[in-house]
């Protein structure tokens, strides 16, 4: 799938996933705290910035 952003293992500051993981920049959701069953982790800022920039590009 084009446009997905791979999350390298070293980009996880905390947590992570057991398998390869990707960000879908155009998959923006607004969720309520009761919808969160599992805290997946925390990513470094550079990859989060890349995802936000990709979303903005997609929306423009």
CA distance 4 to 23: 6
> Does the pLDDT of residue 56 top 50, yes or no?
yes
CA distance 7 to 22: 5
What token pair was written down for 32?
């309520």
Domain range spanning residue 14? Answer: 5-59
CB within 8 A of 11, min separation 6: which ones?
A: 43, 44, 46, 47
What token pair was written down for 2?
């084009």
| pTM exceeds 0.95 | no
Write out pLDDT tens, residues 44-53.
999 989 999 9
Q: Work out how many domains the chain is built from and give that number.
A: 1
């Amino acid at each position: 799938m084009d446009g997905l952003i791979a999350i390298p293992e070293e980009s996880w500051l905390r947590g992570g996933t057991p398998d390869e993981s990707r960000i879908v920049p155009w998959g923006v959701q607004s969720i309520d705290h009761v919808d969160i069953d599992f805290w997946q982790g925390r990513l470094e800022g550079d990859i989060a910035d890349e995802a936000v920039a990709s979303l903005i590009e997609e929306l423009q």
